Structure 1
Amino acid sequence: MGWADGDPLGVRIRAAFGADLTATWSWTDLTAYWRPSDPIELEWGRQSSATRPESSTCALTLRNSDGRFTAENAASPYWPHVRTWTPISVDVDLGDGAGWRNRHSGHVRSWSVTWPGRSGKLAVARIESVGVLGRLGRGSPPARSPMNRTILAATGDGLLAYWPCEDEADAMGAASGIRGVAPMRADGGVKFAAGGVDITVGGTQRYGTKPLPLLTDGGSLSGRAPAGTSSPVAWTLEAFWQTGNPLGEVVLMRWTTPAGPFVRWDYVDSYNDVYGTYLVAYTASGSPTVVWSVPTRYVGPFNLRISAVQNGESIDVTVMIGSLTIGSVTVTGTLARIDTIALNPDQHVFSPGALDFVVGHLRVWDSATSPLTGSRVDAHPGEAAHLRLARLCAEDGVALSAPTVPDEGTTAMGVQPDGTPLDLYQQCEVVDLGIIYESGFGLAYLPRWSRYAAPVALTVDAADRQLGGNLRPAADDQQLRNHWTVTRIGGSSAVAADEESISQRGLIPSSPRLNLASDDQLQHHADWRLWMYGQAGTRYRLTVPLHTRAGRGLTAHWVACQPGSRVQVVNAPDAATTDTIDQTLVHARETITGRRRWTVELATEPADRWEVGVWDDPSFLWDSRSTTLDGDHDATATSMVVTVADVHDVWSTTATPYDWLVGGERITVTGMSAATGTGPWTQTATVVRAVNGVNKPLTAGMSVHLADAQRWGL
């Protein structure tokens, strides 16, 4: 027995009082305090007109006669943790052996204590909760650069000090990226935000950083790193580096280790005698030891890494450019921890004509390795949208679930810009035409590839009274756009337009700017968006009572639905003009009252736009854009003559039968003659009329299209 057999619904409400959002939570079951006469109201998905992912919401009522859910009540067993942003979970059990199904995972936005009927004997707490998107959308986070995001995501891996050096032009020092570490001091001619870090002419694409300090005019930056605790003693220095070609001998970077026999280390670029790069260690008396040298100058830009670790009586030193090791040596001695570090410590002025000395993202690690081995400095050009989203979420500590996408289904993006988390997430969603939604306390992603020809997740039989309330169709024209100008950020643009729609409805333009990898993608994206949003179609608001005899059988399918799921209503009322209403789920509202009543309201949009063709499948045919009726045909005509303007649109004589749609009438073509003429071409079809119940005279010049036409995916 279970819900489908008429049993009460299992409901569970839990809260994680005092939860540390970075650790495992301990749950407290609050179901015993649930006031079932007040409905649990759940909403998820996004409104039809929304252009950004929206947070789910939940509202429910708990009995609060003893004040346990009153904030700041010291007598509460949960004190002092009855506070906002406490994690909360609402689950249901259908009694079918599958266990608890989560209906909402979120964070309490408010605990509203009220006394119904103005009686002091009954107190209740109305809880309002939002999902993870509501939590992530709080405040005004800074727009971080790709490098800054990646480095800060690794702060738990022994990062002792980090100076991004992305300060604005009038800065007087380089701010620390880690709380508790002092900023770097600026001396000499430091020009903040003046360092060239552009990949392309015009600066439309940059390396993965904001503008950095220019030290060419004798500028110097110096700071102090906290002491590490590694055993054996080890450290790693890293920086984004562009040294230029200075004349003479220049100490590019200097750091001190005063507790050891080597108290100072210099990373040197030498123009004298032999062009080369050196790492020199000095004793307290000033005696130098050339630890490593190469007769090569590494100009950059690149990620420079210098690591050292105590190995018995010796020190192992490694120098890397990106993921390439350019030096690995051992020197006798005892390694001490880094104390101070300076860039261009001698305030060397670079000679005119030399490349800029630009440096930033300086960090000190408490180990001989870095978790960012081979870290990118080029802001990930060409990265697939779904993979970028996964990486961004990982950097933010947000769980993400997503299906596998084959190479042919990916969307290549341009360089990652500076941005806030939600803005960067949405950029991935928009360019790929996927859907970001909440899943548990994390996010999920439905990529464009998975939306093609999706399986039906929920079938509602109107004849079996599984459909409740009024069937409310509406023209799906909120996002109707018949003229698209798609621009690649930093690149060119492409146009797609429906001239017939423009003449009938007027110009309804859209001009999105997409972070695409190449101009070659533009026309495909413009054409696809015209296909997606250039037709009105019909959307619906559906009500499904899950507590009725027929509705209970749908519940197991319903709880598996998500934004983007395909929903069909079969045996639809005659006025719907179709036996099967085929839609995609956009937004849902669930109302659970007690353990016996559960109603869902669905907002949907047409699903046929996602029905794409399959290569070499004979059930898929090309549609024609240039076919019109050659003359008038009355409602009884079984032979119809058409004119085809484009030779590529000539109709097949062997793939019959297939259906046309002309003036709203569905017509089955049972035979087709060969094309005659030299352009335009003429063909004669043998037809069966009024296949969809519509039968009417058709006039010359009417457009002829393949019914149920589908197109190739983007």
Structure 2
Amino acid sequence: MGWADGDPLAVRIRVAFGADLSADPATWSWTDLTNYWWASDPIELEWGRQSSATRPESSTCALTLRNGDGRFTVGNPTSPYWPYVRTWTPVSVDVDLGDGTGWRTRHSGYVRSWSVTWPGRSGKLAVTRIESVGVLGRLGRGSPPARSPMYRIVAANDGLLAYWPCEDEAGATQAASGFRSVAPMQAAGNVKFAAGDVGRGVQRFGTKPLPLLVLGGSLSGRVPAGTSSPTSWTLEAFWQTGNPVDTVVLLRWTTLAGATFTRWDYVDSYDDVYGTYLVAYTASGSPTVVWSMPTRHVGPYNLRISAVQNGGSIDVTIMTGPFTVGSVTVTGTLGRIDTIALNPDQRVISSPAPLDFVVGHLRVWDSATSPLTYSRVDAHPGEAAHLRLARLCAEDGIALSVPTVPDGGATAMGLQPDGTPLDLYQQCEQVDLGIIYESGPGLAYLPRWSRYAAPVALTIDAADRQLGGNLTPTDNDQQLRNHWTVTRIGGSSAVADDKESITQRGLIPSSPRLNLASDDQLQGHADWRLWMYGQTSTRYRLRVPLHTRSGRALTGDWVACQPGSRIQVVNAPDAAGIDLIDQTIVYARETIRGRRKWMVELATEPADRWEVGVWDDPSFRWDSRTTTLDGDHNAADTSMTVSVARFYDIWSTTATPYDLLVGGERITVTSMSTPGGSGPWTQTANVVRAVNGISKPQAAGTAVHLADAKRWGL
């Protein structure tokens, strides 16, 4: 027995008091509060997004708990949950349909308010109304800074002792630290913040403008002591240098007392013997050339120098970009890094080459390895939208579920800009025409590829009274855009328009700016958006009572639905004008009243815009854009003549039967004659009329199209 058989609905309400929001949600400890549920007030759930929303929206939940002893009163020290009755505490609402599948989560979010009220003003009964939002609501708080791609990827990793992005603005007098516990780097000499450029521009390499040190500027800072055992560290920096005409210490760091070497210098020299070298000094100033090579790497590139204690020796590795250029061992005891400086001698660097000394993203790791790889040092040009979204979420510690997308179905993006998390997520969604939505404590993504010809997730039979309330279609121009100018950020643009629609309804333009990889993608994106939104469309507001006898049978399918899921209403009322209503879910509101009533309200939009053709599938055929009726035909005619303006639009004489749509009437062609004339061409078809129940005379010049026409995907 279960909900579908008439049993009460099993509801579970849990709260993770004291949860560490930066930890894996799987580690949270949950307290079951179902026994305190005040079922007289409804549980109200909302998810998806309003039809006018231009960015992902958070789900919401509201429910009421009995609070007679004040245990859900914020700040009450007598509460058994004190001091954890606070905002942004995780909450989960689940249902069990009794079908053997177990609990299904209807809302996973964070408490935004604990509102205590006394119904009836008696003071004898106190309740707390919880209002919560999903993870998108938590991510959307405040005004986070717009971070560069390199900053994001560095800061997302553990094991950093110190990090100075050096992305400060032009008026800076210090290089800000990436950590509150580490002091900024101090500037000396002539440091020109935000003045340094690198080959092909800094954005190409995923960073904001960096300091220019070629005029004698120096930056220095202190590094917290590490705890690695055995002692080890890694230094990394992104930079570009010229070819100095003298010897310049580019990078210097000192180590704590007790080490064999208390100072290390990374040097660039005009000397033909040592073009670049690493020299270590003892406390008495005695130098040892640890590594050298006669050539220079002027950049831009990432420098990595690692060291680890190995018995009585020190293993040192030097990398420029993905290449290991040095791997050596010296005798001695390794010390932990204490201070670090760029151009410590404040040398004015003279160079015959046009490259300057530009440096940034200086970091120190508490290990002899770095979690970062630099086979590519850039802002990820050409990265697929769904893969970029997955990487961004991983950098932010947000779980993301994404279905597999073949290479041919991916949307290639341009350079990743500086941005806030939600802005960067939205850019992926916008360019791919996918849907970001909440799934448990994390996010999920429905890519464009998965929206094509999607399977039906829920079928509602109106004849079986599975619809409740009024069937409310909306047929207006709210989404209509008949002129599209699609611009590639940093590139060109393309136009697609419907001149007939513009003549009939006036110009309704849209001009999205998309982060596409190349200008070659523009026309396809403009055409596809015109296809999707260039015509009026019928959207619906549907009510589905899941607590009725027939409605309970839908619940198993309903709880698997999500934003973008395809639903169909069969046996629609006659006044709807069609027997089958085919839509996708945009927004849902669920209301659970006690354990016996469960109502769903839906906002939907047409699914046919995602019905694309499949190559070499005989069930998909080309439509004609230039076919019209060649004369008037009454409602009883079983032979109809058409005129075709383009030879490539003539109708098949061998693939019959197939259905045409003429003035709203569906007509089945049982045979079609060969084309006559020299252009326009005429063909005569034997037909079955009024296949969809619409019977009417048809006038000459009426457009003739393939019924259920499909479009090739973007």
State TM-score, norm by structure 1: 0.97
Corresponding residue for 1:282?
281
How many pairs align?
709
Tell me, in whole angstroms, the C-alpha distance in 2 between the residues paired with 1:109 and 1:694.
53
Q: Deviations over 1:22-42 (max 9, x none)?
A: 332111111111111111000
Tell me, in whole angstroms, the C-alpha distance in 2 between the residues paired with 1:565 and 1:174.
49
Corresponding residue for 2:668?
668
Say if 1:278 and 1:292, in contact at 8 Å, map to a contact too.
yes
Corresponding residue for 1:528?
528
Deviation at residue 197 of structure 1 after TM alignment: 3.7
Deviation at residue 375 of structure 1 after TM alignment: 6.4
Deviation at residue 440 of structure 1 after TM alignment: 0.6
Corresponding residue for 2:172?
171
Corresponding residue for 1:98?
101
Tell me, in whole angstroms, the C-alpha distance in 2 between the residues paired with 1:273 and 1:542.
79
Corresponding residue for 2:212?
214
Secondary structure in 2 matching 1:41: strand
Q: Deviations over 1:638-676 (max 9, x none)?
A: 333333233322222211111111222222222222233
Deviation at residue 265 of structure 1 after TM alignment: 1.0
Secondary structure in 2 matching 1:62: strand
Match of 1:114 among 88, 102, 117: 117
Corresponding residue for 1:153?
156
Say if 1:35 and 1:61, in contact at 8 Å, map to a contact too.
yes
Say if 1:246 and 1:354, in contact at 8 Å, map to a contact too.
no
Q: Which AA in structure 2 matches 1:427?
A: Q
Matches within 5 A, 1:153-552: 153-154=156-157, 156=158, 158-197=159-198, 199=200, 205-259=203-257, 260-274=259-273, 276-351=275-350, 353-374=353-374, 376-475=376-475, 477-552=477-552
Matched, 1:40 2:39: no
Deviation at residue 275 of structure 1 after TM alignment: 6.7
Deviation at residue 476 of structure 1 after TM alignment: 5.6
Tell me, in whole angstroms, the C-alpha distance in 1 between the residues paired with 2:9 and 2:578.
35
Matched, 1:58 2:61: yes
Q: Which AA in structure 2 matches 1:475?
A: D
Greater Cα offset, 313-322 or 681-690: 681-690
Tell me, in whole angstroms, the C-alpha distance in 1 between the residues paired with 2:303 and 2:398.
29
Secondary structure in 1 matching 2:64: strand
Say if 1:36 and 1:594, in contact at 8 Å, map to a contact too.
yes
Q: Deviations over 1:611-660 (max 9, x none)?
A: 11011111100111222233333333333333323332222221111111
Q: Which AA in structure 1 matches 2:230?
A: P
Matches within 5 A, 1:5-84: 5-23=5-23, 24-84=27-87
Deviation at residue 43 of structure 1 after TM alignment: 0.5
Structure 1 gaps, min length 5: none
Tell me, in whole angstroms, the C-alpha distance in 2 between the residues paired with 1:647 and 1:436.
44
Tell me, in whole angstroms, the C-alpha distance in 2 between the residues paired with 1:626 and 1:406.
34
Secondary structure in 2 matching 1:609: helix
Could you list the structure 1 runs, at least 4 aligned residues long, displaced by more than 6 angstroms after superposition.
none
Match of 2:134 among 131, 134, 155: 131
Tell me, in whole angstroms, the C-alpha distance in 2 between the residues paired with 1:464 and 1:406.
40
Deviation at residue 288 of structure 1 after TM alignment: 1.6
Say if 1:614 and 1:620, in contact at 8 Å, map to a contact too.
yes
Deviation at residue 699 of structure 1 after TM alignment: 2.8
Deviation at residue 198 of structure 1 after TM alignment: 5.8
Secondary structure in 1 matching 2:693: coil
Q: Deviations over 1:195-237 (max 9, x none)?
A: 114636xx8x531001100111111111111111111111100
Tell me, in whole angstroms, the C-alpha distance in 1 between the residues paired with 2:179 and 2:388.
25
Secondary structure in 1 matching 2:204: coil
Say if 2:272 and 2:294, in contact at 8 Å, map to a contact too.
no
Q: Which AA in structure 2 matches 1:169?
A: A
Corresponding residue for 1:567?
567
Tell me, in whole angstroms, the C-alpha distance in 2 between the residues paired with 1:266 and 1:275.
13
Deviation at residue 193 of structure 1 after TM alignment: 0.6
Matches within 5 A, 1:656-695: 656-695=656-695
Tell me, in whole angstroms, the C-alpha distance in 2 between the residues paired with 1:365 and 1:190.
25
Secondary structure in 2 matching 1:262: coil
Matches within 5 A, 1:636-655: 636-655=636-655
Say if 2:585 and 2:604, in contact at 8 Å, map to a contact too.
yes
Deviation at residue 483 of structure 1 after TM alignment: 1.0
Secondary structure in 1 matching 2:137: helix
Corresponding residue for 2:701?
701
Tell me, in whole angstroms, the C-alpha distance in 2 between the residues paired with 1:525 and 1:709.
20
Q: Deviations over 1:669-712 (max 9, x none)?
A: 22222233444333332222222222333333322211111111
Q: Which AA in structure 1 matches 2:307?
A: A
Say if 2:306 and 2:369, in contact at 8 Å, map to a contact too.
yes
Tell me, in whole angstroms, the C-alpha distance in 2 between the residues paired with 1:5 and 1:409.
42
Secondary structure in 1 matching 2:394: helix
Q: Deviations over 1:409-436 (max 9, x none)?
A: 1111111100000000011111111110
Say if 2:199 and 2:300, in contact at 8 Å, map to a contact too.
no
Tell me, in whole angstroms, the C-alpha distance in 2 between the residues paired with 1:637 and 1:244.
84
Say if 1:275 and 1:297, in contact at 8 Å, map to a contact too.
no
Distance verdict in 2 for CA 1:198–1:122, change over 3 Å = farther
Tell me, in whole angstroms, the C-alpha distance in 2 between the residues paired with 1:633 and 1:492.
49
Matches within 5 A, 1:600-611: 600-611=600-611
Q: Deviations over 1:395-452 (max 9, x none)?
A: 0000111111111111111111000000000111111111100011110111111111
Q: Which AA in structure 1 matches 2:13?
A: I
Secondary structure in 2 matching 1:444: strand
Deviation at residue 136 of structure 1 after TM alignment: 0.6
Distance verdict in 2 for CA 1:524–1:275, change over 3 Å = farther
Deviation at residue 599 of structure 1 after TM alignment: 0.6
> CA-atom RMSD, angstroms?
1.4
Q: Which AA in structure 1 matches 2:698?
A: L
Percent identity, please: 83
Secondary structure in 1 matching 2:532: helix
Say if 1:240 and 1:377, in contact at 8 Å, map to a contact too.
no
